[in-house]
Structure 1
Amino acid sequence: MAGKSGSKPFDPKDFLAKVGAGKTISKYQKDQTIFSQGEVADTVFYVQKGRVKVVVLSDQGKEAVVGILEAGQFFGEGCLSGHELRIATTTALEECLLTAIRKSTMIAALHDEPKFSELFVAYLLKRNSRIEEDLIDQLFNSSEKRLARLLLLLANFGKEGNPTPIKPQISQETLAEMIGTTRSRVSFFMNKFRRLGFITYNGKIEVHRSLLNAVLYEKPTLERD
């Protein structure tokens, strides 16, 4: 593999951006399924462009959106820890460009290339931190505050640079599934946020910094369940 003596230094971003042994790059159209729950798990995916929705189906047939992934994130890595079958269904929310890495190729890269291992471990740590935050959010915060936090995350608040409108458009049904409430409650809160000037909501959702201030400083405009 790259990075050996006398060869070009290994670049993990370059590794993920190019086709190679055990790697393919594919485009997925909006609403196209990438893999389905219950399928054989033998590949790790990396998002080069676009956003991917992760949905879990219960034994009773109830669906829940458990995540929305964006450029720079991996998914399907459960196959590295012994999952033989997919535990969720993933769908493109918009046109996506994805790198698919066979399990054996992924394991070899993690073993042989320290820079790639560092990148992947950093992703895992960040993802686990997000899972912990989501759990605390579900346990202690109202559905209104959970929606506010989700909108801030989808708008990339807290990252470098200015926040951007939420793209692609996320339906109220999807927002409701992600925070564990009903669509009617989400509709009520969205209209309230718009009335208070926290968001602009007219065909697309644009989140204003005032919503972040309301969440951080526990303003009474955000109720508790």
Structure 2
Amino acid sequence: MHSEIQSYRPQLAVTQWYRGIPADLQDYLLAHSSLVRVGKGQRLYKRGDSFSGLYAILDGALAMGTVVADGREALHAVLGPTAWIGEISMFDGLPRPHDALAMTNVLVLHVHGSALKKLLADKPAYWAYFGMLMAQKIRVSFENNESMQLLSAAQRLASRLLLIAGGYSGISQTQSTLKIAQDTLGSMISLTRQTTNLLLKNLEGQGIISLKVGEITIRDFERLRAASLGNAIH
């Protein structure tokens, strides 16, 4: 198992947080982890669970948010490889603040909570590196909040597609094909499925994106950026 985990090191190093931490911390995280598979529709963890460690997504996509009893969703992000998640409860010691729901079959690297507690007790200076991980996500959260208040529906949709494709400012790997359903995308930017579909069809008609069931492929990033700024598209 350890050699299999080590084989994911180059993939983990694609994203800036893992690449930027000291080599001995990189080694420690891999040496005290295991691989976990989560089936589509299942939760890696749910809101209210106690802290059990950190996770890095190696394959598939996880929706971060909350699903209430009547089925309504409040989704913050859909993260793919190689996003690290779970650090909030590591800092405040409180239960998980949201659900981590598998949108596809998912493979994650699980760094065990007991190992992290020992590491940070022995080397408290390493708290700073995990703080950087959390700060990176706070910045993205502020950007999302601003776009929700200041941008039109069409701009919000274009901006969110760019954000997901860009790996949430380096949290995940960049990609051009997004495994995301239209209703999930709409929920993230407070749009109905009908409005989301209409806006996506408009972008598709202009050759900026292409659509398949549960999948959006960005064909022209430059024109999508123009749409996100509210500029005319030619």
Normalised TM-score (structure 2)? 0.74
Identity %: 22
CA distance in 1, matches of 2:187, 2:163: 16
Which of these residues, 31, 36, 45, is aligned with residue 41 of structure 2?
Answer: 31
Aligned to 1:45: 55
> How many residues of Structure 1 are paired with residues of Structure 2 in the alignment?
206
> Do the aligned residues in 1 keep the contact of 2:35 with 2:108 (CA within 8 Å)?
yes
**Cα distance, 1:220 vs structure 2:** 4.1
> Do the aligned residues in 2 keep the contact of 1:10 with 1:113 (CA within 8 Å)?
no
Aligned to 1:16: 29
The answer to whether residue 168 in structure 2 is matched with residue 166 in structure 1 is no
Moved more, 29-38 or 180-189: 29-38
Report the CA distance shift for 1:46/1:110 in structure 2 as closer, same or farther (over 3 A): farther
SS in 2 for 1:122: helix
Select the structure that is richer in helix: 2
Aligned to 1:4: none
The answer to whether residue 85 in structure 2 is matched with residue 72 in structure 1 is no
Which of these residues, 161, 180, 183, is aligned with residue 190 of structure 2?
Answer: 180
CA distance in 1, matches of 2:107, 2:120: 22
CA distance in 1, matches of 2:58, 2:123: 20
**Cα distance, 1:51 vs structure 2:** 2.0
CA distance in 2, matches of 1:110, 1:94: 33
**Cα distance, 1:83 vs structure 2:** 4.3
**Cα distance, 1:94 vs structure 2:** 2.5
The answer to whether residue 96 in structure 2 is matched with residue 86 in structure 1 is yes
Q: Deviations over 1:7-35 (max 9, x none)?
A: xx9433343334x3xx3321223222111
CA distance in 1, matches of 2:35, 2:191: 37
Q: Choose 1 or 2 for highest CA Rg.
A: 1
Report the CA distance shift for 1:164/1:43 in structure 2 as closer, same or farther (over 3 A): closer
Report the CA distance shift for 1:117/1:47 in structure 2 as closer, same or farther (over 3 A): farther
**Cα distance, 1:196 vs structure 2:** 1.9
Stretches of structure 1 that go unaligned for 5 or more consecutive residues are 1-8
**Cα distance, 1:139 vs structure 2:** 1.1
Matched residue type, 2:216: I
SS in 2 for 1:11: helix
CA distance in 2, matches of 1:10, 1:165: 30
SS in 1 for 2:75: strand
> Do the aligned residues in 2 keep the contact of 1:111 with 1:117 (CA within 8 Å)?
no
